[in-house]
Amino acid sequence: MTRPPQVAGPGLSSAEVAQRVARGQRNDLPPRSGRSAADIVRANVFTRINAILAVMLALVLATGSWINGAFGLLIVANSAIGIIQELRAKMTLDSLAVVGEARPRIRRDGVAAEHARDEIVLDDLIEIGPGDQIVVDGTVVEADYLEVDESLLTGESDPETKAEGAEVMSGSFVVAGSGAYRATRVGSESYAAQLTAEAAKFTLVRSELSQGINQILKVITWVLIPVGLATVVVQLMQVGNDWRRAVLGMAGALVPMVPEGLILLTSVAFALGVVRLGRRNCLVQELPAIEGLARVDVVCADKTGTLTENGMTVGELRLVSGASEAAVRAALSQLAATDGRPNASMQAIGAAFGRPDEPWPVLAKAPFTSATKWSGATFVGPDGAAATWVIGAPDVLANPDSAVHAEAEQLASGGLRVVLLGTSERAVDDPTAPGAIAPKALVVLNQRIRADAAETLAYFAGQNVQLKVISGDNAAAVGAVTRSLGVVSGTAVDARTLPAQPQAFADSIECNDVFGRVTPHQKRAMVAALQSTGHTVAMTGDGVNDVLALKDADLGVAMGSGSSATRAVATIVLLDDRFATLPHVVAEGRRVIGNIERVANLFLTKTIYSALLALLVVLWRVPFPFLPIHVTITGWFTIGVPAFLLSLPPNNERARPGFVQRVLRLGLPAGVIVATATFSTYLLTMPGPGAGEQALRQATTATLACMIIASTWVLAVVARPYQWWKLGLVGLSLAAYLMIFSLPLTRGLFLLDVGNTNALTVGVGLGVVGAACIEAAWWVSGRLFDEPRVVWRADAGGPGKR
């Protein structure tokens, strides 16, 4: 324990603050969303895929065939859509972050007031109390039994006592006591700058989805170079050294091999998910959290502030036999008055018993901590003698065999929170405090259960997501609350009885659902135990004692009204404190990941059949059948527009590992089938040597018809299970291509010729055969990998339905 504080002074004057601002000694922070607008534009324009397309566009335009450079619009689309969505997400994140970020209390001119973090200047006096985050580095100048948890910096879970003159580092937080510190390092010199940059970063970091896409891109890159060079050589040999035709053939072969739309769609889906959740007052601090949401199978919920509301009221005061009600009420009033930063229980006691007319002099005091579960003070009583009053958990302060302990247990089993008031012969700053307690009264506090808690828990149960209720409160009280919600059953376990052996500890956590008297260290261990058995864990909480577990969980969810420390380490912050938002959060994650995996089949199929077509052309040494404009229109209605719409509807399937393997189950055989049918059509319809341009165009048209029919059936398979709007999507795709092939204007624009009926019949026939083979491959893969095949789903819903 530290000694009572000495006041450090009034802080900086307004003039001194202005001088430091002028000298640049202000706590300037990076952008709240991690990237500036310029960074977003740069990241979306200068990409590997845009570079590849830009090089090929330049070569195509050099031939003078402007229509064949239509694929260059993909560069504009890739960049524009990504920039617009990310800027929208950035604005949402910035506006939400302003609401959710910590606002330190700065003392200036003798008055303490809340300020934004970037208003701190060098030498500012910053006041701190339980739950406050240390936002800049500094030196303690006032310490009232101040304890700071530096686990986020050092990994040491035990809090450190901070006396005057001690150093505090940004990233730590106060767990007990109060005080003030003087800012010694601000801006880029402080750890706070780095922490702020990481807190709400708008970027795709490592995840299974991004890793899988990167694996696909690496393979494509290695294939692209040799195939591109071989295609150029073969095309020059076949077209009589006409470099223009050779360049167009090369572009037609290579452009569709690049899955540019998949990267674009993934970024847009993540960004759109962040924006949607932002509209629900849910701050997503990192984009990969969207993927984590879809993979969660265990939710660890802290009872207080999550299942119950933060506010409490005093329901009843139960005196122990022989105790004076006047003395008890006076002691409760004095204890509430001495607590500079009261927790919810002490706030309720202070509201019920009021402030004392004459505060008793304080000789020593001990703040409440999660580890001790009691607080108290040693006063100079009205009679002039020293008197120690303590208040805290009955199962910690009372004799287990006493009547008052039994009474407290009975009350707690009904879902009430109970604290014991008593006296001790030892001062609270005695190393052996509190010692033997003489009980004086039980204070019964009413907890308000959130109105939406039961419905939310029922949703998780219906989605096969386990719920573990983990609380620092009495186990019987926690069990009573969960039973009243009618979802979580079983006996509540007192965490103090859990085995120390790691495997036995993990088994206990797996087999039970409700835990009470859990220490911060145990919460962290519980999360690790669940992760060790293969679970993806989400942890919700609002208090300082939840910080360690929130940090270690796969997904940390903090309440907006909770401590600034929990908001700082959480991946997601529910700014309106609504636990009922969590189902929407999980649903959004599943929508994004499930639908991205669905549409990835379209892009991977296109990449595979394009690569195989290029290889077959090289091996047969024939001219490439398509011009760039042909592969561009193929992508419009079989991939581009349908993929975007298929990425929007709800998807309740929990994400599973093995993204690349599952996509290959359909993408690989479908790509091989489309390439085989298309190249077979080309060989059967290709005119002999010396044929004119018209005959070549007719063969190209027949080959294109075959490829469109087969690839459209890939869309028809990926869209399952069907709903009315999905059938309409497939039908519109076919109708669009029928119009392109039928109208003279579009035939001329896209360089098509349907004059050779025999060739067109071959193309349509082989396209239908290819579609039938794709259908068969879909059913076979379902049997081989034990995946259910559902063709139709009765419930209606459009791509925008939520």
Residue position matching structure tokens 């590849």: 52
Residue 681 has which token pair? 């059509």
> Which stretches within 686-723 are classed as H helix?
693-718
* CA gap 457, 580 in Å, rounded: 9
Strand partners, 108: 12, 111
* CA gap 557, 348 in Å, rounded: 26
Contacts of 561 (CB under 8 A, 6+ apart): 305, 310, 542, 577
* CA gap 730, 721 in Å, rounded: 13
DSSP 80-143: HHHHHHHHHHHHHHHHHHHHHS---EEEETTEEEE--GGG-BTT-EEEE-TT-B--SEEEEEEE
* CA gap 656, 296 in Å, rounded: 10
Nearest to 647 by CA among 220, 137, 264: 264
Residue 297 DSSP label = -
Euclidean distance between the first and final Cα of the chain, in Å? 54
Residue 618 has which token pair? 């090289």
Q: Which of 302, 473, 552, 577 is catalytic?
A: 302
* CA gap 563, 347 in Å, rounded: 16
* CA gap 335, 94 in Å, rounded: 41
Nearest to 488 by CA among 300, 633, 221, 631: 300
Measure the CA angle with vertex 740, ends 688 and 726; round to 5°. 120
* CA gap 353, 77 in Å, rounded: 65
For 604, the 3-state DSSP assignment is helix
Q: Which amino acid is at 783?
A: R
Measure the CA angle with vertex 639, ends 635 and 645; round to 5°. 135
401 is catalytic: no
Residue 395 has which token pair? 């199962």
Report yes or no: 301 and 468 within 8 Å, Cβ to Cβ: yes
* CA gap 568, 585 in Å, rounded: 19
Measure the CA angle with vertex 570, ends 152 and 374; round to 5°. 65
Residue position matching structure tokens 């690569």: 611
* CA gap 373, 392 in Å, rounded: 6
Q: Which amino acid is at 62?
A: A
553 CB neighbour count, 10 Å cutoff: 31
- Cα 520 → chain centroid: 23
Nearest to 412 by CA among 424, 436, 396: 396
Radius of gyration of the chain (CA): 34
Report yes or no: 536 and 296 within 8 Å, Cβ to Cβ: yes
For 9, the 3-state DSSP assignment is coil
| 137-149/160-161 β-pairing | antiparallel
19 CB neighbour count, 10 Å cutoff: 14
H/E element holding 283?
strand 282-284
683 CB neighbour count, 10 Å cutoff: 13
Residue 612 has which token pair? 């195989």
Nearest to 605 by CA among 773, 752, 761, 764: 773
Count Cβ atoms within 10 A of the Cβ of residue 118 and give its class: 0-12 exposed, 13-18 middle, 19 or more buried.
middle
Q: Which residues are catalytic?
A: 302
